[in-house]
Structure 1
């Protein structure tokens, strides 16, 4: 059982907190690139951003350059999210002070002619870069780390699609649902298997590799997976093994990507890399990159599917606590385990939001199925402590080291009960060999020494 002090340590991410200091060592998703596109932003690509408890403003200037600066104007503290995008930067409507993407003050037009005040003013600006449909920000000190050569970053734009959604709870409980393989047999159980032709872009609706058995049936009929956890170069690897018979076992391989992401299979064709990014201590966004190993992603279809449940401009869920997550008791009895529709994001949202704004982990009782959560919490505490000692935590890498971190490999399929360890590697290798862009060098090797028990 966890103490209140331990729970505070691993959940609080504001400036000056130990976990907040750790999080500021990493690139953080700050917005979708779509949010600055003409379709969503019109001719004014400016977005207010709250990230790790800090209030910022993100913009793209007339030359196409991205800027991320503190949201309060350094003159009198007015809100720069309402600024005018003009003359090479963002201009405060209060007194006309103008700031460029680097935070330099270019003009203070209300000051007397010849004033040099603007040369002494600088707004705090943060490194920002666009990768795989997401605008990433670095809020820490010094040089940001290099991006690892993960599948979601290695794939071309045609083969990735990014989306996000708002969750009203602490980032950690939102992450932990994704490294809990056992919950899918209950929270995401469907009484019907649906049509394979309708499974595109939907979690747990397609068939597993080397099988015509839909994932819905696997989860429904085999609810007691054996779970194993390994340490890897990028975090943790989790195995959920559902024994179907003496000859066959369903193998699902997922990954925790440090510090606050996971990588899971969506289908035989696609994977999902999903971050749980703190807005502050009591809310977060999930950001997902869907990566295709075969055909280009049908982005219009993927976007349409998800916008059916999320509202622009803030990507707020259309169902939630305010309308009981769409709960229908007839549906719960006859169609789905939750009675909350067929979108698993709604199921997960209910599960984690119902734990409270910040889950009280002093009251929980963990079991064998929680091996991944236990291993991750140990990894997180170790990283917080290492960072406090001035050491580089996991995945804070230079360019050469980051280029060697690939994959991570993930899959689900039905293979041999004896020899499943070789089977899952073969499935991942086969998928990569058939992809038009993928490297065959994704990590599928032995666990790192000191692997989680």
Structure 2
């Protein structure tokens, strides 16, 4: 049983809070690159309760600064992008992407004041359509050479969405293989050839068996959890008959992302990023092992259910997630439409802004969640001791040793050795891929 104190220890992310201090040791998504499109590439962002302004200067350089001007605290999100940086409208102070003050124009002629002023600034990089920031102490870790970071831009697509809940309960839905048989249950199977860009709507690899049928008819999975160098791997088995087993391999990329199969050709890497203690953005990179991603189709599909500029779901708490009693009786288990992100959002938000884990009763299928929480607590305690004993707090040399991680959804009809099946399936997919084949290296961690 988890106490309220232990729950706060794992969930609270403001500066100085134990979980917040751990998450600040990692790169965090802060925006989609597309959010800086347009005539004014500037955006106010909030991360773990702190306010920043993200911008791109005239040379294309990205910058992330504290949002309050160091002069008298005016809001730099209304600043002017000009003269090599961001200029505060209050008194014209100008800052570059490193936070250095370049001009204090209202000061007397010859004043050197600007040379002594530096605004809080943070490293930012773009990876696969997402802008990542590091707001922690010291040097940031390196990016592991996982598929989502090394695939060519033509083969990735990034998107995001806002949920009104704590980051940890949003993440935990992704490491729970059992829920898909219920929360995402569809009573009828669709044409799997029309499933491009849709989660849980295609066919398993090596089979024409619809995943919707697998989840609906085989709802008592056998789940194995294996700690890895990057976090942990979950292998979920659903025995179809005496010979065939549905095998699904998913991963947790510590501290707050999961890597899951979307289809036989794509994987999803999804982060759960705290805006504050009670709001979370999910950021996803869809990675294709076959042809280039149809970015327009993927974007159009998502904009049908998510509204800009804040990337808020059109089905949400205010309209009961589109719940329809007739649909629940005849079409879907939830009665909340066909978009599984809405199902997940309801599941997470219905637990409350921060789930009260002192009232929960975990079962055997929650072993992934139990393992992760122990891993999280150990990592938080390590940071409190001034150590770096946590997955993926790595340097460049270590980052190059990572690959994958393998994420497979398929049917093993050989009757045994499911581990060998998914490893071979992953290798075969990479061998057929224009970009992944060159990276095959069995010595890498993945």
Distance in 1 (alpha carbons) for counterparts of 2:294 and 2:19: 38
Following superposition, the deviation at residue 442 of structure 1 comes to 6.3
Q: Deviations over 1:53-84 (max 9, x none)?
A: 11000000011110000000111111100111
Alpha-carbon distance, 1:420 to partner: 1.2
The answer for the alignment partner of 2:420 in structure 1 is 422
Q: What is residue 43 of structure 1 aligned with on the other side?
A: 39
In the alignment, is the contact (CA less than 8 A) between 1:406 and 1:443 conserved in 2? no
Taking a change above 3 Å as real, the CA distance of residues 249 and 70 of structure 1, as seen in their structure-2 partners, is same
2:64 matched residue in structure 1: 68
Distance 1:442 1:49, change over 3 A: farther
Alignment partner of 2:259: what SS? strand
Q: Secondary structure at the match of 2:213?
A: helix
SS in 1 for 2:141: coil
Hey, what's the Cα distance between the residues in 2 that align with 1:186 and 1:441? 38
Report the number of matched residues.
Answer: 442
| Residues 29 and 283 in structure 2, CA contact (< 8 A), matched pair in contact too | yes
Runs (4+) of structure 1 exceeding 2 A deviation are 441-446
Equivalent-residue separation in structure 2 for 1:280 and 1:185 (angstroms): 31
Please list the CA deviations of residues 156-183 of structure 1 after superposition, one character each: whole Å capped at 9, or x if unmatched.
0000000000010000000000000000
Q: Which residue in 1 is equivalent to 2:402?
A: 405
Report what 2:267 is aligned to.
271
CA contact (8 A) 1:66 1:101 kept: yes
Measured in 2, the distance between the counterparts of 1:290 and 1:166 equals 18
Match of residue 21 from structure 1 = 21
Deviations 1:354-389 (A, max 9, x none): 000000000000000101000000010011111222
Which moved further from structure 2: 307-316 or 364-373?
307-316
Query: Could you list the per-position Cα deviations for residues 171-208 of structure 1 after superposition, in whole angstroms to 9, with x for gaps in the alignment?
Result: 00000000000000000001111112210010000100
Pair 1:286 & 2:279 matched: no
What CA distance in whole angstroms lies between the structure 2 residues aligned with 1:186 and 1:124?
A: 47
Residue pairs, 1:107-256, within 5 angstroms: 107-256=103-252
| Aligned 1:390-401 pairs, distance under 5 A | 390-392=386-388, 393-401=390-398
Give the Cα–Cα distance (whole angstroms) in 1 for the partners of residues 107 and 394 of structure 2. 45
* Cα distance in structure 1, aligned partners of 2:399 and 2:207: 35
Counterpart position of 1:313: 309
**C-alpha distance in 2 between matches for 1:347 and 1:172:** 17
Q: Distance in 2 between matches of 1:166 and 1:104?
A: 33
Displacement of 1:391:
1.9
Q: C-alpha deviations, 1:215-235, integer Å up to 9, x for none?
A: 000000001101110001110
2:438 corresponds to 1:441: no
Q: Is the 8 A contact 2:402 2:445 kept in 1?
A: no
Q: What is the rounded CA distance, in whole Å, between the counterparts of 1:425 and 1:78 in structure 2? A: 55
CA drift at 1:417: 3.7
Counterpart CA distance in 2 for 1:374 and 1:435 is: 35
Q: Verify the 8 A CA contact 1:408 1:443 in the aligned structure 2.
A: no
Deviation at 1:117, TM superposition (A): 1.6
User: d(CA) in 2 for partners of 1:118 and 1:442?
Assistant: 53
For 1:62 and 1:195, locate their aligned partners in 2 and report how far apart those are by CA, in whole Å: 48
**TM-score normalized with structure 1 length:** 0.96
Structure 2, unmatched stretches of 5+, are none
Once the two structures are superposed, residues 256-287 of structure 1 have per-residue CA deviations (whole angstroms, 9 ceiling, x without a partner) of 11000000000000000000001111111000
SS of residue matched to 2:378:
helix
| CA-atom RMSD in angstroms | 1.2
Distance 1:65 1:164 in 2: 23
Q: CA deviation at 1:108?
A: 1.2
**CA 1:368 to 1:433, structure 2 compared with 1: closer, same or farther past 3 Å?**
same
**Contact map agreement 1:255 1:262 (CA 8 A) in 2:** yes
Q: For 2:91 and 2:415, locate their aligned partners in 1 and report how far apart those are by CA, in whole Å.
A: 71
* SS of equivalent residue, structure 2 residue 122: coil
TM-score by length of 2: 0.97
Residue 104 in structure 1 maps to residue 100 in structure 2: yes
**C-alpha distance in structure 2 between counterparts of 1:310 and 1:444, whole Å:** 38
